[in-house]
Amino acid sequence: MTPKCAKAPERVLVGHPFNPVYLLPLVELVAGPETSQETLQKAQNIYESTGKIVLKLDKEVDGFVSDRLQEAMWREALHMVANGEATVEQLDLAITAGPGLRWALMGPMLTFHLAGGEGGMAHMLDHFGPSLKSPWTRLEAPELTKELRDAVVEGCETEAAGRSVATLVNERDKGLVAIIKALREAEAGTPGQGEQHGS
């Protein structure tokens, strides 16, 4: 990660905020091989002073953590559209009315821990682990044909129902503020999430 021309490699790091950056608190922080702990701590302090929640990554990974998780879901969604298995509207509703609500409180790992009942994640892995080999997901990206592109674009336009991007952004932001406030008031969410959020 650190460019060879860096004159002060101990001061090189990457801060990756999450969109929309003016509302969502997440910032992924990655040190270079020569980054000093002092630099890392200063960066964390700066981000946290603005209300951000810092996720320090132990290892650099292409696409960071949050975007890789999103990308995996997006690829699967595109496959389903391409295969006529689900529409854009169905895909969005499948998340916003289902796992998306749970994910606002706890991530995918703790969600599956609860799904294991009293046995927790151990039961989930022991009982459902073999099904991970089932062809339920297709992590290879589908071919972006004109037909797939047009179907996804048309689906989004249908779902937008005449609302402009600016209108949708405003609706999204109002909803995010409400969710963040609700989590803060309920003192709920992934550890660190219930702390002060920048907005």
Residue 44 near residue 15, CB atoms below 8 Å: no
pLDDT for residue 198: 40
Question: What is the rounded average pLDDT of the residues 78-93?
Answer: 96
12-57 residue pLDDT tens? 999 999 999 999 999 999 999 999 999 999 999 999 999 999 999 9
Q: How confident is the model at residue 195 (pLDDT cuts 50, 70, 90)?
A: low
Residue 3 has pLDDT above 80, yes or no: no
The helix (H) or strand (E) run that includes residue 163 is: none
Burial environment of residue 81 by CB neighbours within 10 A (0 to 12, 13 to 18, 19 or more):
buried
Domains and CATH numbers, the chain: 9-56 (no CATH), 64-160 (1.10.1040.10)
Beta bridge partners of 55: 28
Cα→Cα distances 15→62, 127, 144, Å: 14, 38, 31
* C-alpha–C-alpha distance, residues 73 and 22, integer Å: 24
pLDDT for residue 128: 82
Coil/strand/helix, residue 143: coil
Secondary-structure percent of the chain, ordered helix, strand, coil, rounded to 5: 55, 10, 35
The helix (H) or strand (E) run that includes residue 116 is: none
* C-alpha–C-alpha distance, residues 28 and 66, integer Å: 8
